[in-house]
Amino acid sequence: MTEKAATPLLLLHPSRGLIDEKFSLMVQNLSQIQEITLHALIHSDDGDYWEAFGHYVSDATGLVNVANDSSLGGTYDGVKPMGLLWSMRPVPGSRIGLRLRKKEVHTPMLVHISVYRGHMSQGFKEQVALASVVTERWYMSPGVRRVDITEGGITGTLFLPPGPGPFPALLDLWGGGGGLVEYRSALLSSHGFVSLALEYMTPRTSGGTDIGFCSYLNSAAFTVLKQHPQVCGDRIAILGLSFGTSVALGMAVYSTVIQPRCLVCVSGSHVQPVKGSLSDVFSEINKNVHNTRYDEENRVIWRDLLLPIPTDPTKKVDVGQLKCPVLMIVGEDDQNWPATESAEDMKQMMEKAGNSHLLTTLSYPGAGHLIEPPYSPHIRASNFMVAGTRQKFVVLWGGETAPHGYAQEDSWKKTLSFLEEHLYRSTEVTSPSNL
C-alpha cells in the first residue's frame, strides 16, 4: 500500500506586521525538485487587484525557502525575500495608470499568498492552489492614535505613538497633486514619532494653491505641533516628497516661525522663485513647457521643465542659509523632477557657503521619482491630477523595479536612523554622520 503524499505546507512569519517589516516564507512537504509558483494578491482600497509571482524549485528535501532560494522568473528573479511585495503590479486587464496607496490606515493591507504547481505566469484564478496564507500588513502599529486636525486654518491628520510622550515630531508634506495622504505619517508614528500629515493645495483648504497660503498653512501646522502637549517643541523635523521638498526647503530657509531640527527631502528640488507665489512657480515652469517630453506610450516626462538649473540666485532657495541637517534622497532615473541635478547644485551652493557638512545625499541608480516606504510596489507611471488646474495626465515617474525596490528599503532604513539621530539622540544640531 503506497503512502499518501504529505500536503504542501505554506509557512509565513509574522502573519501580522508593519508594512516595512520583513517576513519569512517557506513551503514544506513538496516533492523533490518540484517546480512551483508563489503568488501574492492584494485587493486595494480602490477596488483593484495587484499581483506578483515568483518561480521556484524545491530542494532534495521538498523545501522552498524564499530567504535563501532564487526565483527563476516571474515578476522578480534572484534571491529576493520580499520580491512578492515590491514587484507587485496590476493584474492583466486592470485600469490604466494605477497607483497602490493605502487610504484607510486603520485597516491592514491584506496580502493573499498562494503556492501553485508548476511555473505559471497567468490564469491563477482558474487554478486550485496547493496551499494559501493571508498576512496583514499595517501602517499603524497597536496603540498609535489617529486624530483629525481642523484648527488654526489647517486640515490634516495627527498620528501619536503609544504612551504619554513627549515625542519628537514631523511635519509630513506630499507633492504637487495635493490632498491628504496619511500612510507615511502613520508608519512614522509606529516608529515613535508624532507625525502630522497636512492637507494642502486643495479646494478644501480655502487658500487653494497659493504658495503664500501654503506657507501660512505650514507655519500654522508647525505651530500646532510645537504647542501639542505630547510633542518636544524643539525636536520637530520636516519630511517632503517632490513639491513637498520645495516647500520644506523654502520654509526652513525663509520662515521666521519654522525652525526644524532636520529635513528629509525626497525626489525634490530647490528651484523656485524666492518668496514667490505658487502661480510664480508654475509660470517659471510653463516657460519651459516646450521641453515636455513623452515616452513611447505617450506618458508625460516633466524632468526637463526645471532644467538647466538656474544660476540666478532669485530663482532657487538659498540653501547656503540652511542651519539644520538635511538628508536628500535621489532616484537617478527620476523622470519627473531633476533631482540629481538639483542635489548636485545644492551641494555646490552649500560648499561655497560653508555649510555642506549639514548635507547628506543618498543617490540610487535605477530608482525613479516615487520613493515610498519599503516593499511598496514600484510605480513607474500613473495617473496624476495637477493641483489647481485639475488637469489629468499619465506621468512617467521612472525607475526599474528591482533597483527601485532596493532604494526604497535602503533609504527608509537610513531615514529612520537619520531622524533618530537628530530628533532623539542629538542634544544639539550636529552635522550628519555617514549613513
Count of positions (residues) in the chain: 435
Beta bridge pairs of residue 9: 28
20, 69, 333, 334: which is the annotated catalytic residue? 334
SS3 352: helix
Q: Note if 369 is an active site residue.
A: yes
334 part of the active site: yes
Q: Which of 87, 114, 242, 376 is catalytic?
A: 242
Neighbour tally for 10: CB within 10 Å: 19
Catalytic residue among 55, 369, 404, 422: 369
185: which 3 cell numbers? Answer: 505619517
301/298 Cα distance (integer angstroms): 9
Q: Which of 423, 411, 139 is nearest to 263 (CA)?
A: 423
Nearest to 311 by CA among 358, 352, 274, 345: 345
Triad 70, 76, 28: Cα angle to 5°? 45
Peptide bond into 8 cis (omega under 30): no
What 3-state class would DSSP assign to 349? helix
Strand 194-199 and strand 154-160: the pairing is: antiparallel
Question: Closest Cα partner for 168 from 239, 269, 103?
Answer: 239
Total Cβ atoms within 10 A of residue 304: 14
Phi, psi of 328 (to 5 degrees): -100, 130
Q: CB count, 10 Å around CB of 159?
A: 27
Residues recognised as catalytic: 242, 334, 369
